[in-house]
Amino acid sequence: MSELVRFSIAMPADLLMQFDNLVARRGLAKNRSEVIRDLVRESLVSEEWDDPDAEIVGTLSLVYSHHAHDLQSKLDHIQHSHHDRIISSMHVHLDAHNCLEVIVMRGQSKLIRTLAESILGVKGVKHGNLTATTTGKYL
């Protein structure tokens, strides 16, 4: 880690109170400075993630019905076609009817987004969300 530099921040008292609640929710291991650093990194990563050529590691989670016709085989087909971008996946049988799948993918931002959208677009997928972090590389 590079040298720490101190600076002061001015903010409205009510915003500071909300911020301190956030710090408290993040637990004893975090203080104001650490949470500010986390938030700055979060903003920088989401800005970097917007660059279509940035390399990202994305986590796609999706929920679908176990009973939907052909859905599992369509999802498998898409994943096999992109085996070089998919690092890992996990399947959870949520209840008698629903499955949760978590798929970790790595590659160029624009390709990972397209891949995520093609998975989320399969008929029968009820809900899904892609989150990502960047590796700092550009492809």
Segment contacting Ni ion (CB under 5 A): 21-29, 32-40, 85-93, 116-124? 85-93
Report whether 98 contacts 65 (CB < 8 A). yes
Q: Radius of gyration over alpha carbons of the chain, in Å?
A: 19
| β pairing state of 54-65 and 98-108 | antiparallel
Segment contacting Ni ion (CB under 5 A): 1-9, 70-78, 92-100, 103-111? 92-100
Among 56, 60, 99, 119, binds Ni ion (CB under 5 A): 99
- Look up tokens 């993918």; give the residue: 105
Query: In the bound complex, what is the minimum distance in angstroms from residue 103's beta carbon to Ni ion?
Result: 14
Between 100 and 111, CB nearer to Ni ion: 100
Binding site for Ni ion (CB under 5 A): 93, 99
